[in-house]
Amino acid sequence: MERKTKIDAESGKQELTITREFDLPLDLLFKAYTDAEIVEQWMGTKVLKLENKKHGAYQFETTDPKGNKHGFNGVIHEFVPNQKIIRTFEMENTPFSVQLEFLDFIKLSNDTCKLNIHVVYRSVAQRDQILQLPFAQGINMAHNRLQDIVLKLTK
Amino acid sequence: MMNLRRDVFQAIADPTRRAILLLVASQSLTAGAIASNFDTARPTVSKHLQILTECELLEQEQNGREITYHINAKKMKEVADFIEPFRNMWDDRFNKLESIMQNYKPKK
């Protein structure tokens, strides 16, 4: 599969950009971000609240394989259909501070479009830690799998 | 271990340094040959080469008066693996989004 998603994280900056082109008309990409049922499907989360308007708020909740619930929330600062969303994003009960996200939805042709997400973090260190999260989780998962195997062997 | 990773991570986060790595990945080059590919001043390129060498992404070899740079494939793989999970996470999500929306039928 072609690598379509691009991450740009310049050294020493407390921001990064995520860029992705889609084989989708612009309005369908925007819908994927604003229709609660569809967000649930591709984000793999429960949507508790999603108010698509300026000063609206959103609340997501995911359940990990162990059954622990993780909350995410934010406030929408700007909402322009098929153009942009500016919002905050916060992972609840973590040491990570709130982050600011600028989402730009760009039409490329009638059936293609582009999403540009510019994320600003509280500090360079926090950005780097968040960038490393999936890497760390991957290690944890490998570690857990190893533990499972060891447990089975010792039973 | 974590500090080392962060240094390497910062090294590859810079666009010029990434361009240098791409260049040297295809063939070993002298500092002069690398610098000739950039509009940037030669001392700036030298500084980038120094950083890439310090975090072991590049290896130096003295050839007479010239220094030749090689890519350290092992280290490069480690770094790619390290930043890959974050990109993969988003790529998976967006692939899912794309396929859901390609099959999307508006409700009447």
The CATH number of the domain holding residue B59 is 1.10.10.10
Bridge partner list, A20: A115
Say if B70 falls within a structural domain. yes
DSSP string computed for A94-142: SSPPPEEEEEEEEE-SSS-EEEEEEEE-S-HHHHHHHHHHHHHHHHHHH
- B60, B24 Cβ separation under 8 angstroms: no
Say if B108 falls within a structural domain. no
Mention every residue, 6+ apart, whose C-beta is less than 8 A from residue A56.
A50, A75, A76, A79
Using beta carbons and an 8 Å cutoff, which residues of A are at the interface with B?
1, 3-7, 9-12, 18, 20, 22-24, 28-29, 31-32, 38, 41-44, 115, 128, 131-135, 137-138
- A117, A99 Cβ separation under 8 angstroms: no
For range B47-75, the mean pLDDT: 89
What is the band of A139 on the pLDDT scale with cuts at 50, 70, 90? low
What is the band of A145 on the pLDDT scale with cuts at 50, 70, 90? low
Option in A3, A38, A132 nearest B91 (CB): A3
Domain with B19, as residue range(s), is 8-103
Q: For the whole prediction, is pTM greater than 0.80? A: no
Q: Which residue has the higher pLDDT, B2 or A41?
A: A41
Beta strands in A10-98, from DSSP E residues, in sequence order: 15-22, 46-50, 57-63, 69-80, 84-91
What is the band of B2 on the pLDDT scale with cuts at 50, 70, 90? very low
ipTM higher than the 0.90 cut:
no
Which of A59-68, A72-81, B17-26, B87-96 shows the lowest mean pLDDT across its residues?
B17-26
Count of domains forming chain B: 1
For range B2-28, the mean pLDDT: 72
- B91: closest chain A residue by CA: A5
Say if B3 falls within a structural domain. no
User: Three-class SS of residue B63?
Assistant: strand
For range A12-27, the mean pLDDT: 93
Distance from CA of A143 to the nearest CA of B (A): 16
Option in A4, A23, A135 nearest B86 (CB): A135
Say if B25 falls within a structural domain. yes
Say if B53 falls within a structural domain. yes
Option in B85, B102, B104 nearest A135 (CB): B85
- The pLDDT of residue B102 is 95
Say if B80 falls within a structural domain. yes
Say if B67 falls within a structural domain. yes
Does pLDDT of B94 surpass 90?
Answer: yes
Does the distance separating the beta carbons of A4 and B82 come in below 8 Å? no
Report for A97-101, A122-126, B19-23: range of highest mean pLDDT: A97-101
Does pLDDT of A149 surpass 60?
Answer: no
